[in-house]
Amino acid sequence: MKEKKFTFIDLFAGCGGLSEGFLQTGKFEGIAHVEWESPMINTLRQRLIDKWGHTEVDAKKRVIKFDVQKTDELIHGNWSEETRKTYEKENHTDIVEGGLEALVNGRPVDLIIGGPPCQAYSIAGRAQSPTGMKDDYRNYLFESFVKIVDHFKPKAFVFENVPGLLSACPGDTPVRVRIYEAFKAIGYNIRTPESLKNSVYCAEDYDVPQKRNRIIIIGTKHDSDFDTEEFYESLTARKSKSPHKTVRDAIGNMPKLTPKAKVEKIGRSNVSHEQLEGDTIDLHIPRYHGERDQKLFTEWLANSMNKFSQKEKMDFYTKITGHTSKHIKYRNIEWDKPSPTVVAHLHKDGYMFIHPDIEQLRTITIREAALLQSFPLDYKFVASNPYCYKMIGNAVPVLFAKGIAEAMYDVLISK
């Protein structure tokens, strides 16, 4: 007997971490994946073609490039003249006539999954904003998620975000309260604002080699056979019984990239490192690190400076650069521990992700960042190097997503 597959729509799909985890179970079919930024769109489409057997035409239909804030337009496909002109201007010929409704085509949507961009909820983001991000439109993107849930009435939904959502308070009403009230108004149960703090899970408990805490908000219809707590119990039961995966588990076998005797100019780029042996691996290319960086990494690693006090680390930054900072600027990942949270800031620099091998004197590569996020080695990222770091840092770790998917399936199939 063929195993039943449940359907899902992925909103704010990014480069596909959440979708990939659900698809890897073999128990779900993605009807549609909605994203706005082209590099992520191109990456996810490529993955559907390379791995999941979709034609180019089908992948273009399913992965919709669109601004989720224009929710009614997205659902019904009643594209405005402005939308059509935008597609023409960007040379996109893949506008989906009929929108999400046409893709769904009357089939039941079992799940809606996704997570609005998390920067607006993050404590780090608020610390850098003079208004605490009160005016950031991203604080309200969950409203588009709610509207799409309301329209398609899935059996359940999964809303993933940063734990900072619990304390975010734009417009003087806590986001967690806004979210609770919004879902209640359309007939869906989620945990109360007070108990949402119990919905924080760590990716390292799902075989991801990374400490990455995320809030998982699961919702079910008021009148359904499903109880929200059943899904949480299933998710907790899915935690791995094995020791946590480490940086060594993820990238310990990657080919070494060691400093060249002399910096070489190749085209417009300065090249500081080389790979002397092993297979060539896509996107396993180090950033340029000149003499100052290499001396910095040598001293940092030789003195195990991760263990130093915050003041000593900040003093070290001042000694190296002559500047002062209120924040720690350097950190190395450690072989026998999970990685710290992989972040989108990697697109700017990698100094908080110094490679642990003192022979290599570099920060991590794009491919290493992806492996720490548990993306498969054959996952292609279709973007500039900085944007690859950014999309990987913003993604849901694949194995964490797979654990969520398995947990959701266990409850769905039980009914």
In the annotation, is 15 catalytic?
Answer: no
Going by their DSSP bridges, the two strands 188-189 and 213-221 should be labelled as antiparallel
65 torsion bin: left (phi>0), alpha (psi -120 to 50), beta (else):
beta
C-alpha angle with apex 220: 196 to 6, nearest 5 degrees?
120
DSSP string, 68-83: TTSHHHHHH----HHH
For residue 115, give Cα distances in angstroms to 82, 188, 335.
Answer: 26, 17, 31
Residue of 118, 169, 202, 388 marked active site? 118
The Cα-based distances of 81 to 66, 230, 278, 347, 355 in angstroms read: 14, 45, 53, 35, 50
How far CA 216 is from CA of 197, 198, 200, 206, in Å, comes to 10, 9, 6, 14
Which residues are registered as beta bridge partners of 6?
A: 28
Q: Helix, strand, or coil here: 41?
A: helix
What is the C-alpha to C-alpha distance for residues 348 and 359, in angstroms, rounded to an integer? 24
Q: Are 161 and 121 in contact (CB under 8 A)?
A: yes
Query: Given the structure tokens 């994203």, which residue do they identify?
Result: 35
Catalytic residues: 118
